Structure 1
């Protein structure tokens, strides 16, 4: 009889690893986590285009400007420019007209300057030369707290537009309200049909026209309205200036910061109705919608029925300045960011801002088709010196 063979099941022994192996794993674990974080960061840098910055040459570009410095101080604009090898360093001029007033030829020490509007820009170009770029535009408007706009509407001086954030302002009627023809006491806000708790005279607070482009342009629009919808000439510029001067002297001439203080929590106490640029208001509403999901209902815009479209000129004096001008004019990311900061682009993208307003749930304003013509530069200078008592700027004839 053959005996059956038996096979034992194999056994597996689990041995404790050496203590040194545990130490190695604990030692390497933090490096693994750090490597993962570094990889994720590198991917993000590649996606944004920033990863190349340490390896490319950065050109420092110097500039002088006034209110439009907000564009170059924007963090996203700075990031895009840096990604293209440009670092713009801005010096505040204190006002666009201050640039033109410079008598020491220091303007050309900058790579470029950027006055806020075409009238001041023409003075600078005619004095200092340079290559001109037209990056974007922003109409001149009045910012107002709602109760003031409604009071003007009750007087028949303003008319609400569709969307409840904008009004059209009858400039002739508004100037007459500020300068009554009967020689009597000027009207105050608390004496209107729809009274506002404010005993001040009815005016739009304006930056000093000596320094600020918005102030000088507002003077031109007031003069246009007071002169039967015609720009004053050399024959009557001084007379018209003296006639409208009280509008600018009632509460004193302000600095160029009205477009900032208006949006402060206590804005009503500083400038309940003030001259500013449209982009300042739109940027405020874009930020408010992003933060709260709805626009600020207390602040509205008054669009003059004789409009003035301000066009900042970038005037380059060097190849580095021209590089910035080319980028702002042609770079798609920079143009998109200009829209997000409330600016209007050129006629090729005339629907871009309305499309963005719709995208953000904001109404589109209606601009008047009637342009308020400013006096010719020498005549406007005559008016500015009379109203603001400021130093003369040499104006080419």
Structure 2
């Protein structure tokens, strides 16, 4: 009897403890599952899917699986469509797109005004260059228009080159033109000035020299430079609306089709990074002196677009990937130092740089040229 008397409370204690432990464990499991559901819900709420209009030279970057993965790690999915920079402004639609990413500051400023964006972002930039070929560059060196410094070529007499273009000079008329003694007129090929930023950057540089080395900033300046700059575009014939197509022609058809192409430094650097066997070939970059930078400016239309701009500007992994596409960036590493380690020589910095005209005066120049196409 005494054993039973003492055993019964002990068994009751064990039973109560087991029931309590079961309840605690069950509640713990439910609590953990609830917490996991909350975290998943929060992650889902943080994830955004964006759509944007971009310049064609950035399409490969946004379609890179590594870029998509880096963005997904930040809770961002992006779908992009390509268009010329002026077209991006013309097609502003905050109901359809979350951001626009044109290739130049003047168009980005116009887009900022149209979208009423409170903030814009500058994730990467690239100087404008002339994509050419060593035999062509050497002809221009012999004629005192281009200067070679080590592995680099610099266009030091753009006014003379523009004068040759304006007067219809042919390559065979130049000194030491034996390797390109053709009846082809001297021209710098570009994209369509009516739609594309790279052509607008060519216009900015040409108008600077046509205006006595002053940035165009009045109607009088516009009228002064038009006779100089309009023929640069009118005499080219058919022009592509975005920068990727003429660069593909330059690569595929060689100097017979495109002796000189106004292009982005990023296009050539990206090509050499992808095709190291072509680094020692005849492809060369000629840096105008002065040159002009093309700033790739993200203009957000929605909070989600602004979130993308913050990530592109600040994420080191995305900056490193941008370098692989030939873009220069902010941050501790800008790009040229990485390319040098792979045998691609570019200037670390460019000191002789001008600004393009403001959006208002550049637009007036473009519209004036546009009327002459009709």
TM-score with structure 2 setting the length: 0.80
Aligned to 1:84: 74
Aligned to 1:359: 341
Aligned to 2:224: 239
- CA gap of 1:190–1:63, structure 2 versus 1, over 3 A, is same
Structure having the larger proportion of residues in helix? 2
Distance 1:253 1:220 in 2: 21
- CA gap of 1:384–1:314, structure 2 versus 1, over 3 A, is same
Distance 2:345 2:327 in 1: 15
Q: Helix, strand or coil: the match of 1:152?
A: helix
Q: Helix, strand or coil: the match of 1:313?
A: strand
> For residues 1-397 of structure 1, what are the structure 2 equivalents within 5 Å?
57=44, 59-67=48-56, 68-93=58-83, 95-102=84-91, 106-107=93-94, 109-130=96-117, 131-163=119-151, 165-180=152-167, 186-195=168-177, 196-232=180-216, 233-255=218-240, 256=242, 257-258=244-245, 260-262=247-249, 264-289=251-276, 292=277, 295-346=279-330, 348-349=331-332, 352-365=334-347, 368-389=350-371
- CA gap of 1:258–1:205, structure 2 versus 1, over 3 A, is farther
Deviation at 1:96, TM superposition (A): 0.5
Structure 2, unpaired ranges of 5+: 1-39
Deviation at 1:143, TM superposition (A): 0.5
Q: Helix, strand or coil: the match of 1:261?
A: helix
Distance 1:238 1:367 in 2: 34
Aligned to 2:33: none
**What whole-Å deviation, never above 9, does each CA across 1:270-305 have from its counterpart, x for those lacking one?**
42211111111110111122xx3x614211111110
TM-score with structure 1 setting the length: 0.75
- CA gap of 1:389–1:108, structure 2 versus 1, over 3 A, is farther
Structure 1, unpaired ranges of 5+: 1-52, 181-185, 392-397
Distance 1:197 1:88 in 2: 49
Distance 1:332 1:304 in 2: 30
- CA gap of 1:285–1:155, structure 2 versus 1, over 3 A, is same
CA-atom RMSD in angstroms? 2.4
- CA gap of 1:234–1:108, structure 2 versus 1, over 3 A, is farther
